[in-house]
Amino acid sequence: MGGATLYVEAIKCGADKTEMKLTGQAGDVMKESSQIAWSYLQSTYQKYAPEKLFFDKAQIHLHIPEGATPKDGPSAGITMMTSLLSLLKGEPVLEDLAMTGELTLTGKVLPIGGVKEKLIAAKRSGAKILIFPKDNKRDYDELPKHIKKGLEVHFIDSYEEVYRVAFSAK
């Protein structure tokens, strides 16, 4: 029947020190993914938002709604990074965009499992533009054409490519 779509939200609150908080029934692996996204953003923000300063004395709250549903796995890494970067830049990403991929500390995007389920969930939620890891292209190619119909899919292997797609209308 397909998987579930996770939404990722980020807000900035005043604080005595700069820190990030994650809520939404995230498991250990998802918590690690949020920390990787935070560290990657800290180390590269000038590349993506040269006109901005990193969050100074602010608590950044990253939330995955539907908190009663436990969630885990590394597949939301690029989504978390994109949410944090969108907050820092003060710019939304493309509408109708869905993405999945594990992010490393150096910005590499690793493959995920459940391509068919994730594609169906994204399509069901109204997404028209999808970002998948390049290493999952073979999995995507094996799917029936009717499942892929009407979608613009980008296969990427670095966060820089995610950025170009997610903020392309900006």
Nearest Cα neighbor of 129 from 147, 146, 154, 164 is 154
Q: In sequence order, which residues have a C-beta less than 8 Å from that of residue 150 and are 6 or more positions away?
A: 123, 128
- Residues facing residue 13 across a β-bridge: 59
**Can you tell me which residue has the tokens 């999808």?**
130
Which neighbouring-strand residues pair with 110? 102
Point out the residues that are catalytic: 75, 118
Alpha carbon separation from 60 to 14, 21, 65, 85, 118 (Å, rounded): 9, 6, 16, 11, 27
